[in-house]
Amino acid sequence: MSTDNELEIRPINESDLATLWELIYKDEQPEWKQWDAPYFPHQSMSYESFLAKKDSWVNQSDRWVITVDQDICGTVSYYYEDVQQHWLEMGIIFYQAQRWGKGLGTRALRLWIDHLFQTTDHVRVGLTTWSGNTRMIRAAERLGMKLEARIRNVRYYNGHYYDSIRMGLLREEWAANE
């Protein structure tokens, strides 16, 4: 029997695809998109089109699912900002609004950061968000991430300008905090 809010991150299995499609692409305007780069358009996608791209999801090192009490509720991911692959940026999305504000994102990011530092030789992990996503900024700060850049008024959403926020964490800072 699992305890309440038992959280895990793990690679994506083929059996996860139907749930992921429903959480990410079924709705044309999902609620989570209001917080995850809402200034970029969201494209819904048919299940068949999503399945055609399954190889970019299943058993990939750069995108894993987040489960809470064994239910898929989000994803963690990373990508490289530069071609030399020394500048790693990570992300997280909790697709279910009822899961927000409970510290689950911070817990999932802690696991993901730990995994990234254990499985790569990178000296830094970064996270980019926008100033309107205060929950994401607070989670990053709780994990010891530092504000590295604030690019002012470059994200336009719902008639307002927001800042792009870049945060980062060095391997030695992570080791000292953990």
pLDDT single digits (tens) 54-78? 999 999 999 999 999 999 999 999 9
Across the chain, mean pLDDT equals: 94
Whose tokens are 């819904």? That residue is 44
For the chain, give every domain's residue range: 7-177
Predicted confidence (pLDDT) per residue in 1-47, tens digit: 334 679 999 999 999 999 999 999 998 889 999 899 999 988 889 99
pLDDT at 1: 30
Best CA proximity match to 19, nearest among 41, 42, 53, 47 = 47
Q: Which residues contact 94 (CB under 8 A, 6 or more apart)?
A: 32, 66, 73, 74, 100, 104, 105, 108
114: how many CB neighbours lie within 10 A of its CB? Answer: 13
CA–CA dist 82, 97 (Å, integer): 33
- Say what the pLDDT of residue 3 is: 47
For 158, list phi and psi in degrees, rounded to 5.
Answer: 50, 40
Q: Contact at 8 Å (CB) between 129 and 162?
A: no
Q: 57 Cβ partners below 8 Å, 6+ apart?
A: 12, 17, 20, 63
Domain 7-177 falls under CATH 3.40.350.10: no
Which candidate, 85, 95, 168, places its Cα nearest to that of 128? 168
